[in-house]
Amino acid sequence: MADGLDFIHVYQPATSPDAPTLLLLHGTGGDERDLLTLGPALSPGAGVLSPRGQVLERGMPRFFRRLAEGVFDLEDLRKRTGDLADFVTRAAGQYGFDPSRVIAAGFSNGANIAASLLLLRPEVLSGAILFRAMVPLVPDPLTTRSDRHVLLSNGAADQLVSAAETERLAALLRAAGVDLTVRIQRAGHELTPQDVTQAREWLATVPVASSAKTASRPA
Evaluate whether 46 touches 33 at the Cβ level (below 8 Å): no
Q: State residue 56's pLDDT score.
A: 96
Out of 108, 116, 126, 153, the active site residue is 108
The reply to whether the predicted model has a pTM over 0.85 is yes
Q: pLDDT tens digits, residue range 161-181?
A: 999 999 999 999 999 999 999
Domains in the chain, please, with CATH?
Answer: 9-215 (3.40.50.1820)
Q: pLDDT tens digits, residue range 110-149?
A: 999 999 999 999 999 999 999 999 999 999 999 888 889 9
Q: Is 162 an annotated catalytic residue?
A: no
Average of per-residue pLDDT across 195-207? 96
Mean pLDDT score of the chain: 93
Q: State residue 14's pLDDT score.
A: 96
Q: Is 189 an annotated catalytic residue?
A: yes
Out of 73, 147, 189, 210, the active site residue is 189
Say if residue 106's pLDDT is above 60.
yes
pLDDT band of 70, cuts 50, 70, 90 = confident
Average of per-residue pLDDT across 7-33? 96
Judged by average pLDDT, the poorest of 32-36, 56-60, 85-89, 208-212 is 208-212
Q: Is 149 an annotated catalytic residue?
A: no
